[in-house]
Structure 1
Amino acid sequence: MSTSARRRLLRDFRRLQNDPPSGITGAPLDSNIMVWQAVIFGPDETAWEGGTFKLTLEFSEDYPNKAPSVRFLTKMFHPNIYNDGQICLDILQNQWSPIYDISAILTSIQSLLCDPNPSSPANSEASRLFSENRREYNRRVREIVEQSWVDES
């Protein structure tokens, strides 16, 4: 294993423990620093409020020069999240920079929940409802939030 990737992940983990962003937790899964599980709590006063959304982050030896693979384990209904949980987010693709740490990644994903980009749809139905029928979109999001309470995936 690359010692620089490992060192960076340990530093990210300490930073996340000492100064966690609001509504976000994350830690390596088991004893493998290269695979993390995180939880994003739905931000207050949004359709996502009260939700508990689990994600995995998989890091390569090239981290932080290469973005991790991030996906939701919790079922999601969102314009920028594919049915398999993969996330369409610029900083995880073409806008990645080594300055991003795990806190920045998770904070960006949390922000994306409430502020989707319908012009880059990963889920065309969610994108259409978000643009054309916000009430129905919010109803579907609330269903996902309620499912997140019982999903132990």
Structure 2
Amino acid sequence: MAAAPEILRRVWKEVRTAISEPDLGIYVPAVCLNEDAIWPVRVHAVIVSPQSHSVPMLISVTYRDTYPYRPMDLKFISRVPHPLIRDDGSIDLDILKHDEKSEWSPALTLRSVLTSLVSVLNDPTHPDHLREGCVANADWELGSIKTEPRNIPELFATLMLAAMPIDDWQSWRFLRGLRSLLCTYPMAYTSKRTQWYHFLGSIAQLCTSLRGWRPATGSVPPSAASSAKERWIQEAQALLKRHYRLDPLRILHRCRLREDGSGLGDLRKINRVWTVIQAFITDMPVSELMQEASLEKTN
């Protein structure tokens, strides 16, 4: 069934608006909707846990032809232990119900729903959320946040998009989410290897441009934006320190690409142990590294 243009415009606007909530750890990737789109319309969202471990969670959002008179469907793809979240990922919130008990209003949007969801995640047992008889998962305290391996590439790619400080330095939360995800799934980047190294390169360049930056000192406390910027730099440096070690390899590649090999001395013997050095520094395919080094030589 083709979606009505006015409803599509509303969905598009909602998704675009929901993107800008990095201070709450919410990110919704942009989607391309046109007049030929059909129901249901599906998008993904990411929420980074507000707790210190900052575990990222992947959510599926589905708009059906009953929207906005009925709520969109939200479902956790990641397993999230919570008294109002079932094992299948469905969420027992009154604003998301489709029956006569629903508290949904057409005035609500994806942004307001996700903001409410973050509040529910922050305080699982708050009486405003957890009323008598509404517990959907009695064993929630025994679980932990987990994402199935098949969904890790989507979660990882979305976090990379969210972590760049295009509009708000509060995106440090997504950098921390990346670090958290890589602690649990160290090989998460392998499905997006090229994008991952390009992302790290962009982060490294931005950190270089910010080198020497310090928040203003004095009797006046630093602003929220200044504090967020400082936190973003700290998180970016921590990520780079652990995962970005390509500079030595690029230097060696540039040496190998020299046509005459003059002046390299014993460095020419590096070919004998090249595979060992490469495996130690990175698992990026040789073809990609050679391409980067060739571009650097050309430039």
Q: TM-score range by the shorter chain?
A: 0.7 to 0.9
Q: Partner of 2:139: helix, strand, or coil? A: helix
* Counterpart in the other structure of 1:99: 107
Counterpart selection for 1:81 from 81, 85, 90: 85
C-alpha displacement of 1:61? 1.7
CA gap of 1:23–1:37, structure 2 versus 1, over 3 A, is: same
* Counterpart in the other structure of 2:7: 5
TM-score (norm 1): 0.75
User: Partners in 2 of 1:79 and 1:118 — Cα distance?
Assistant: 11
C-alpha displacement of 1:51? 1.2
More strand by share: 1
More helix by share: 2
Counting only pairs closer than 5 Å after superposition, residues 1-150 of structure 1 correspond to structure 2 as 1-17=3-19, 19-20=20-21, 22-27=24-29, 34-44=41-51, 49-93=53-97, 94-116=102-124, 117=130, 119=132, 120-126=134-140, 137=141, 140=142, 143-144=144-145, 149=181, 150=184
Runs of 5+ unmatched residues, structure 1: 127-136
Q: Partner of 1:12: helix, strand, or coil? A: helix
C-alpha displacement of 1:11? 1.3
CA gap of 1:11–1:96, structure 2 versus 1, over 3 A, is: same
User: Partners in 2 of 1:14 and 1:146 — Cα distance?
Assistant: 25
Q: Do the aligned residues in 2 keep the contact of 1:24 with 1:39 (CA within 8 Å)?
A: yes
TM-score (norm 2): 0.40
Q: Which structure is larger by alpha-carbon Rg, 1 or 2?
A: 2
* Counterpart in the other structure of 1:130: none
Runs of 4+ in 1 over 6 A off after TM superposition: 29-33, 145-148
Q: Percent identity?
A: 27
C-alpha displacement of 1:72? 0.2
1:33-90 Cα distance to aligned partner (Å, 9 max, x none): 8101000111145xxx411010001001222111011100001111000000000011
User: Partners in 2 of 1:26 and 1:40 — Cα distance?
Assistant: 9
* Counterpart in the other structure of 1:129: none
* Counterpart in the other structure of 2:290: none
How many residue pairs are counted as aligned between the two chains?
135
Look up the equivalent residue of 1:96 and give its one-letter code: W
